[in-house]
Chains A and B, each alone.
Chain A
């Protein structure tokens, strides 16, 4: 009996340790009522199999920025809903993929657009394509144009190419290009470059320049 109680206490400590640590972190930085509400949202997300780290982080961000409790609770709740929607669209996914998809959805990307990205890279990592999608929309690229670009690039390019694309679009926008035009021009440029590379790789000589 004595060993059973010790074993039970050990199990409780092991299982409760992460939860306790998380609660302690929230309790230290939030008022009691806000910590309790946020803790309930986190527990609900955990029970649903959603990542909880982004939720806790959102609450801590609000605390550091001096936001009132109600605003923190609303933000954490909104993010939990975003994660839930992301999981509904993507199905089984990594925490990073769900986080990136939730960001995109919360920025106004439609569920079918996120699903299109999933379709472009079936069975492969989606974190970067979804992150680039979210970033493009955050920069002002319309979600349909951003989705079209990401789907085209994600299907045929590595993550690095996607990141380069995002960087180029960001630079063009910073220089004054309209976001949609920047994305379209860069996508066209990426397609042309790939076409040129393919032509060279298969040994077809490039067309001769025509006289004006």
Chain B
């Protein structure tokens, strides 16, 4: 017997339909109905049982790819709306982590996020011409790592000078913002420009 004949016979055998007992479906379903329901076993019923019941989700590779694409598209569309960004009608100078970032705003004011990295600080305050340079007016909040300090506040259009005060004593300019003109007092400050979007 040649190899081709052998393969053809094996394939013919595999193509032949499997004959099953017609009663097998009924027996399987009877067994399934006889099993205790998961929700009932936990003492729950109705919607709670449905919510807590484990589900097996099956999908094809093509379906998985489609789902991943949908998530990616949603991220591209939604994330810019959730992260610091140019708000309607406004732009601001933003670059790195420690620079103030524009989030959103109206025509004349904009929400700006100030970020300062100070891993060893116990407190960080933002002082500037928008809060009369008062050291306790605008404290920053530490993130979970206690390294990144942030605060958001509305700023009017224009140029604002500011600095950070660490532990109520150490002044620090924003390392990634332009330095303010004229270091008049021996302690450098930074500057942010908030401007209307050109029409």
Residues of A within 8 A of B (CB): 25, 53-54, 57-58, 60-67, 71-72, 74-75, 78-79, 95-96, 99-100, 102-104, 106-107, 124-125, 127-128, 131-132, 134-135, 138-139, 158-160, 163, 166-167, 170-171, 174
14 A-B contacts, Cβ less than 8 Å apart?
A57-B132, A61-B161, A65-B187, A66-B185, A71-B184, A74-B184, A78-B184, A96-B157, A103-B180, A127-B158, A128-B195, A158-B198, A159-B198, A163-B195
Residues of B within 8 A of A (CB): 86, 91-95, 127, 129, 132-135, 157-159, 161, 171, 176, 178-182, 184-187, 189, 191, 193, 195-198
- Further pairs besides A103-B180, A135-B93: 13, Cβ < 8 Å: A57-B132, A61-B184, A64-B135, A65-B185, A67-B184, A67-B186, A74-B184, A99-B158, A103-B181, A131-B191, A138-B178, A159-B198, A170-B95
B184 touches A58 (CB 8 A): yes
Nearest A residue to B86 via CB reads A160
Count CB-based A-B contacts (< 8 Å): 118
Taking A75-B184, A106-B182, A167-B95 as contacts, is the C-beta distance between A96 and B158 under 8 angstroms?
A: yes
B185 touches A67 (CB 8 A): yes
Nearest A residue to B131 via CB reads A60
B197 touches A160 (CB 8 A): yes
B198 — which chain A residues lie within 8 A by C-beta?
A: 124-125, 158-160
Nearest B residue to A158 via CB reads B198
Of the candidates B93, B135, B159, the one whose C-beta lies within 8 Å of that of A96 is: B159
A138 touches B193 (CB 8 A): no
Nearest A residue to B182 via CB reads A106
How far apart are A135's CB and chain B's nearest CB, in angstroms?
4
Of the candidates B91, B129, B134, B191, the one whose C-beta lies within 8 Å of that of A160 is: B91
How far is it, in angstroms, between the C-alpha of A110 and the C-alpha of B142 when the chains are bound? 43
A100 — which chain B residues lie within 8 A by C-beta?
A: 159, 193
